[in-house]
Amino acid sequence: MDELHDLQLKLRLSIWHRSQLPHELATAWGILLFAQTSTARPSLNGEPSTFLTTLERSHATAAVLSIELGGAHVLNFLSRV
């Protein structure tokens, strides 16, 4: 995870729907987190991104959102304001 330090990422959080049998309706089963390095440039007015993210071993009390990733890793989203 050290290679992700100081990179701008695109993150997508979505609901994972699943059905047991082909004829059954899919129901919400979990969440998926997709992360990709971004080639995006800072906004035109030079403002930094909305959130600062940290990968920690526990939830940050100041985080606006914390996601347990497994393997004793938690992705914390901290407000830049």
2 pLDDT band, cuts 50/70/90, is low
Task: Look at the chain and report how many structural domains it folds into.
Answer: 1
75 pLDDT band, cuts 50/70/90, is confident
Query: CA-CA distance, 49 to 42, in Å (whole number)?
Result: 7
Render pLDDT for 19-64 as a digit per residue (tens, 0 to 9). 888 898 988 888 887 877 766 555 555 666 677 888 899 999 999 9
Tokens of 50: 């909305």
> What's the CA angle centered on 74, arms 81 and 52, to 5 degrees?
20
The whole-number pLDDT of residue 53 equals 82
Query: CA-CA distance, 48 to 50, in Å (whole number)?
Result: 7
Residue-number span of the structural domain to which 28 is assigned: 2-79
